[in-house]
């Protein structure tokens, strides 16, 4: 019996690769601070559970393949009220998280061997979908010293070939924390129009942008409406990763009726989770988002200031999401991250990082970088930074 080449080619994500070392560290009695997990630590709002408890459901039936009408209408209102975006319920398809939205969108756009244009470093899980669907990746580089903003238009254009079908953007970015400006989005939109490409805009972190800036959605530009497909999720917006509710949002009718075939094939999304999600969209407004944003923004400031004080560390201030890419004074960030878990501790405590190489397509890129996640309380961030600083000194002494 054989395992398919497509699945065999999928690499373990850079986040998961270190788990055996972390498990071993815990088994040996170490406390591990998680600078690696992209899972909000804030509680899921009670409205989610209340709506489910009050739903009166007695039989868990299949829901509509498009997703519950009430949820799609609630999302439509949420877009209008918070972002002045006009998407009606027929322009929204509910999916099992942003992950299924991505899989369905990519499956609908790409044939085997077609090419996708993406800015690296990018969210490593995309690679699993690319491998699964045999999509070829053409990555253009964004640089740490430019805050991972987009390179010049010419550099992006140079990567387009006749097989390019779409540009994939993550805004705000994972792993970069970069929030693209309106001008940058217009560059992408113009390229997409000129070359007849889709823009897949992964906006699952849209509500997390700092310094009083609002992350502009690709959906804000009517001139690119036919090209644009938005990936949505409640995972980060409402601290509800386990609910598995996301959405595909687009005004392109031909695209939406094609992708709907995949929604029909998988029948339905969890009906209870959709009820909870509708509760969230219907009840939680600006105050909730502002409160969450302020918590993460404060953590961003703590981590950025702390990292700047560590000798040899290079970092640019992230503008959104809850990630920061950091260049460390080490030979190999993966080796260092493993060493932190397996050979180092500071009074029985250590820290878990995500080596950044897995976020790059270009071989050897990101070898000194790690992604740090700040889904941790402020005092834990400070403790973990202290451990990181001590670890760097010790590691570099040993590797002289």
Ligand X SMILES: Cc1ncc(COP(=O)(O)O)c(C=O)c1O
85 near ligand X, rule: CB under 6 A: no
Cα(188)–Cα(201) distance, rounded to whole angstroms? 10
Q: Minimum distance from CB of 216 to ligand X (Å)?
A: 17
Choice between 208 and 385, CB closer to ligand X: 208
How many residues touch ligand X (CB under 6 A)?
Answer: 13
Q: Is residue 318 near ligand X by the rule CB under 6 A?
A: no
Instruction: In angstroms, give the least distance from the CB of 96 to ligand X.
Output: 8
Q: CB of residue 391 vs ligand X: minimum separation in angstroms? A: 26
In the complex, the smallest distance separating the C-beta of residue 233 from ligand X, rounded to whole angstroms, is 3
Question: Would you count residue 292 as binding ligand X (CB under 6 A)?
Answer: no
Looking at residue 82, the DSSP 8-state letter turns out to be H
Residue nearest to ligand X (CB): 97
DSSP string, 156-185: HHTT--TTEEEEEEESS-TTT-----HHHH
- Tell me: does residue 202 bind ligand X (CB under 6 A): yes
147 upstream amide cis, omega within 30 of 0: no
Between 97 and 320, name the residue whose CB sits nearer to ligand X: 97
User: 56: left (phi > 0), else alpha (psi -120 to 50), else beta?
Assistant: left
User: Which run of H or E residues covers position 119?
Assistant: strand 115-120
Is 98 a binder of ligand X (CB under 6 A)? yes
138 is a site residue for ligand X (CB under 6 A): no
Q: Which of 18, 166, 188, 204 binds ligand X (CB under 6 A)?
A: 204
Residue 391 makes contact with ligand X by CB under 6 A: no
Backbone φ and ψ of 143, nearest 5°: -110, 145
Point out which span in 95-103, 271-279, 305-313, 353-361 binds ligand X (CB under 6 A). Answer: 95-103
Rg (C-alpha) for the chain, rounded Å, is 21
Among residues 123, 210, 238, 322, the one that binds ligand X under rule CB under 6 A: 123
Contact 144, 195 (CB under 8 A): no
d(CA 247, CA 233): 6
Cβ pair 186, 211 in contact under 8 A: no
* Contact predicate 358/120, CB 8 Å: no
Q: Which is nearer to ligand X, 48 or 123 (CB)?
A: 123
Site for ligand X in 223-262 (CB under 6 A): 233, 235, 241, 246
Contact residues for ligand X (CB under 6 A)? 38, 97-99, 123, 170, 174, 202, 204, 233, 235, 241, 246
């Amino acid at each position: 019996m054989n395992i398919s080449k497509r699945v065999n080619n999928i690499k373990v994500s850079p986040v998961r690769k270190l788990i055996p070392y972390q498990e071993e560290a815990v088994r040996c009695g170490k406390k591990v601070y998680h600078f690696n997990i992209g899972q909000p630590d804030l509680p899921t709002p009670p409205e989610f559970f209340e709506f489910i408890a009050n739903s009166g459901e007695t039989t868990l039936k299949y829901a509509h393949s498009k997703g519950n009408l009430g949820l799609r209408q609630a999302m439509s209102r949420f877009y209008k009220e918070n972002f002045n975006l006009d998407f009606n319920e027929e322009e929204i398809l509910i999916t099992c998280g942003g992950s299924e939205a991505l899989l369905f969108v990519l499956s609908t756009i790409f044939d085997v061997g077609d090419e996708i244009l993406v800015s690296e470093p990018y969210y490593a899980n995309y690679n699993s979908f690319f491998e699964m669907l045999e999509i070829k990746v053409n990555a253009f580089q964004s640089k740490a010293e430019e805050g991972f903003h987009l390179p010049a238009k010419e550099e992006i254009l140079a990567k387009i070939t006749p097989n390019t079908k779409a540009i994939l953007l993550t805004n705000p970015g994972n792993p970069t924390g970069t929030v693209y400006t309106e001008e940058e989005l217009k560059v992408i939109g113009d390229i997409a129009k000129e070359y007849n490409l889709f823009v897949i805009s992964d906006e699952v972190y849209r509500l997390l942008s700092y310094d009083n800036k609002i992350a502009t959605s690709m959906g804000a530009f009517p001139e690119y409406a036919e090209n644009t497909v938005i990936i949505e999720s409640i995972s980060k917006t409402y601290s509800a990763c386990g609910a598995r509710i996301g959405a595909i949002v687009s005004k392109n009718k031909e695209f939406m009726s094609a992708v709907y075939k995949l929604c029909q094939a998988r029948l339905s999304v969890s009906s209870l989770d959709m009820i909870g999600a509708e509760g969230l969209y219907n009840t939680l407004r600006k105050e909730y988002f502002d409160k969450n944003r302020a918590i993460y923004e404060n953590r961003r400031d703590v981590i950025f200031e702390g990292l700047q004080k560590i000798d040899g560390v290079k970092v640019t201030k992230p503008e959104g999401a809850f990630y920061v890419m950091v260049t460390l004074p080490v030979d190999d960030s993966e080796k260092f991250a493993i060493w932190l878990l397996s050979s180092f501790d500071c009074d029985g405590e250590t820290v878990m990082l995500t080596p950044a190489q897995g976020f790059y397509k270009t071989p050897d890129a990101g070898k000194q970088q790690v992604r740090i996640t700040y889904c941790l309380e402020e005092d834990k961030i400070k403790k973990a930074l202290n451990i990181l600083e001590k670890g760097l000194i010790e590691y570099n002494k040993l590797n002289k």
